[in-house]
Structure 1
Amino acid sequence: MALILSIDTSTKVCSVAVHQDGKILACSELFTEKSHSGMLTTLCENVVKQSGFTLNELDAIAVAKGPGSYTGLRIGVSTAKGFCFALDKPLIAINTLEAMAYQVKDFFPANYLLCPMIDARRMEVYCTIVKTNLTSILETEAKVIDEYSFLDLLNTQPIVFFGDGADKCRESISHNNAKFLEIPILPSAKSIGYLATKSFEESLFENVVSFEPFYLKDFVGTQPKKI
Structure 2
Amino acid sequence: MNILAIETSTDWCGIALIQNGKCTYKIEEQIPRKHAEKLPLFYESLRDKLNLNEIQLDGVAVSIGPGSFTGLRVGLGFAKGLAFAKQLPIIPVPTLNILAVNSGINNTKYSVLMYSHRDIIYVQQFSGSNPANKEGVERWGTIDHSGLIIHYGCEKLMIDENYLSIRPSAETTGLLAEDNFNKWVNENPYDLVPNYISPFELGAKK
Same fold (TM over 0.5): yes
CA drift of 1:57 comes to 2.2
CA drift of 1:204 comes to 2.9
Does the C-alpha gap of structure 1 residues 150 and 137 become closer, same or farther in structure 2, counting only changes over 3 Å?
farther
Residue identity in the other structure for 1:159: L
The reply to whether residue 116 of structure 1 matches residue 109 of structure 2 is: no
Partner of 1:165: 154
The reply to whether residue 198 of structure 1 matches residue 179 of structure 2 is: yes
Contact 2:4 2:18 in 1 (8 A): yes
Alpha-carbon distance in structure 2 between the residues aligned to 1:121 and 1:7? 23
Q: From 159, 166, 188, give the equivalent of 1:185.
A: 166
Larger radius of gyration: 1
Q: Give secondary structure in 2 for the equivalent of 1:29.
A: strand
Q: Give secondary structure in 1 for the equivalent of 2:64.
A: strand
Partner of 1:211: 192
Alpha-carbon distance in structure 1 between the residues aligned to 2:46 and 2:151? 28
RMSD between aligned residues: 2.1
Partner of 1:224: none
Alpha-carbon distance in structure 1 between the residues aligned to 2:54 and 2:135? 33
Partner of 2:130: 135
What TM-score do the two structures reach when normalised by structure 1? 0.80
Alpha-carbon distance in structure 1 between the residues aligned to 2:157 and 2:94? 22
Once the two structures are superposed, residues 21-50 of structure 1 have per-residue CA deviations (whole angstroms, 9 ceiling, x without a partner) of 120000001212222111212212322433
Share of identical aligned residues, percent?
A: 26
Residue identity in the other structure for 1:144: R
In structure 1, runs of 5+ residues without a counterpart are 221-227
Residue identity in the other structure for 2:184: L
Partner of 2:63: 64
CA drift of 1:20 comes to 0.4
In structure 2, runs of 5+ residues without a counterpart are 202-206
Residue identity in the other structure for 2:168: P
Q: Give secondary structure in 2 for the equivalent of 1:45.
A: helix
Does the C-alpha gap of structure 1 residues 109 and 79 become closer, same or farther in structure 2, counting only changes over 3 Å?
closer
